[in-house]
Amino acid sequence: MKQEGIKILVKNSKAHYNYFLSDFLECGIELRGTEIKSLRHNGASLNDSYVIFTNGEAFILNMHIAPYDKGNIFNHDPLRTRKLLLHKMEIIRLRQKAEEKSFAIVPTKIYLKHGLVKVEIALGKGKKHYDKREAIKARDDKRMIDRVIKNNGRGD
């Protein structure tokens, strides 16, 4: 998907399945040398990643960025902790919401916006098992309806 200078690099599909997401927020991320090249070649994963707060700063944990093929000695640790670039008031607001309502803060996607890497994070409330079954049922029903509409539209 490319619109207005935005190119999505990685989506966290598990986040929508495991959490009720709200309060989406765009932030920058601090990357080292070959990480940006690896990201541009779609070498990343957001599965099981989450955001923590320490010393008034936000960090993303368990985000995997594959080592760059041509990076040799300059490659990075794939699972290193990376700093998120947020304003102080945004960090305070997110931290308060996460603590008072016991939300998790999860990254939902990584994208390029006018040449800069951005991460979209959201507050997530964990889904129960029955909520996940309802999501699967709704997705299957939508697929079935789309399939029927497509087949009826052919004019057989």
Q: From 53, 48, 2, select the one nearest 27 (Cα to Cα).
A: 53
The structure's pTM equals 0.79
Phi, psi of 6 (to 5 degrees): -110, 130
CB 118 within 8 A of CB 28: yes
Question: Domain residue spans in the chain?
Answer: 2-127
Q: What are 65's two structure tokens?
A: 């960025």
Q: Give 14-57 pLDDT, tens digit per residue.
A: 888 888 899 899 999 999 888 888 888 877 999 889 999 999 99
Q: What would the two tokens of residue 72 be?
A: 């040799």
Q: Which two tokens stand for residue 73?
A: 């000695």
Predicted pLDDT of residue 155:
52
- pLDDT tens per residue, range 71-115: 777 788 889 999 999 999 999 999 998 888 888 999 999 999 988
CATH number of the 2-127 domain: 2.40.280.10
